[in-house]
Chains A and B, each alone.
Chain A
Amino acid sequence: MRNTLKLAGYGVALVLGLGLGLYKGEEYGRTRAGIVEFAETLRRDPFESIVFEEGTDEAKVDLIRAQLAFKDRQTAKGAPLASRGETDYVIGYARLAVFSELKGDSVSAADYLQRAIAHCLKGKRKDDCDAEKLRYLADLIDHRKALPEKDAK
């Protein structure tokens, strides 16, 4: 009887320890992965904004493809800070479609537009998924159109 009690006590201690350890350890691991990701973002961000400002359309196409590949990799490894939303893909593919169209490559433009729409339909704003709206968004981001004037109230 006393032996059984003793063993049960050890079992309870082990389970409590494991539980608390898992909880705290998971928190630590997540924070650590987040810090690594943050350091990476801190360096990429100014670099990419320089390429965006200084680059020609060709450089911007490479930049967008690099950003999408980066997002794919982040999503694949379940990075804690990466957004799970579809917005990056929608905007990225919409911009790629416009760049292809400007270059005169209508086949890949249509392909990119299809992908943008497919990602858009997976997201939350399903009403805004037509080609025209995506095109407008891409034009705004790449400074082909001025930002709309604010409505006077």
Chain B
Amino acid sequence: MKFLKTAAVIAGYPAIFVVGLLAGGYVGAYVIHGNQVTSSSADPDFERAAFEYALESKDEAIRARALNAHLEYLNWTAGDERSFPSYLASDRGLTLARLSALWQRLGDQTQSALYLEKATSYCPEMKWRHCDGNELLINAARLDRGAIEEIFNKKR
């Protein structure tokens, strides 16, 4: 009996250590940095980052979903730094052009043409020097290559 009691006391130390570890870890990760990133799906920054990971995906289905989600997201960014009119229009136009290129790759000409038409409809708001379907598709391809490729092997 005495042996068991001693064992319980000894086991208590690591147990309490682990409790402290968990509590400290929680405070460190989620309380101190909680305003910078949260796991709540209501947090727009976190949502955006999730889209942005998906946009780099190689799987066309995931890309299409992410691009559509991104368009949807742009609809409720009022007050955000993206709400400057030409900035927002450029983002919408380029995202639609990427969807057009995506449907082109998948072989659906009608969808591709539809999205390109939608993309060019943003041209007047985008305030670019030249803005037509071709120009948008060229730049959409630059975005499709992905940021890392774009930065390190810049081909124009």
Q: Which residues of A contact B (CB under 8 A)?
A: 6, 9-10, 13-30, 32-33, 35-37, 39-40, 42-43, 45-47, 49-51, 54-56, 58-59, 62-63, 65-67, 69-70, 72-73, 77-80
B86–A55 CB distance below 8 A: yes
A14's partner among B17, B84, B86, B90 (CB-CB below 8 A) is B17
A24 to B52, CA, bound (A): 27
A80 to B91, CA, bound (A): 26
SS class, residues of chain B in contact with chain A: helix
Q: Which residues of A contact B129 (CB under 8 A)?
A: 54-56
CB-contacts of B21-68 with A (<8 A): 21-30, 32-37, 45-46, 48-49, 52-53, 55-56
Known pairs A17-B23, A80-B36 / 7 extra A-B pairs, C-beta < 8 Å: A10-B16, A13-B14, A22-B24, A22-B27, A39-B53, A45-B151, A51-B90
Question: 8 pairs across A/B with beta carbons < 8 Å?
Answer: A10-B13, A13-B14, A15-B20, A18-B21, A37-B49, A55-B86, A66-B87, A79-B36
Given contacts A18-B23, A32-B37, A63-B87, contact A54 B28 (CB under 8 A): no
CB-contacts of B141-156 with A (<8 A): 142-143, 147-148, 150-151
Q: Which residues of B contact A (CB under 8 A)?
A: 9, 12-14, 16-30, 32-37, 45-46, 48-49, 52-53, 55-56, 81-82, 84-87, 90-91, 94, 126-131, 135, 139, 142-143, 147-148, 150-151
B117 CB to nearest A CB, Å: 20
A17's partner among B24, B46, B86 (CB-CB below 8 A) is B24
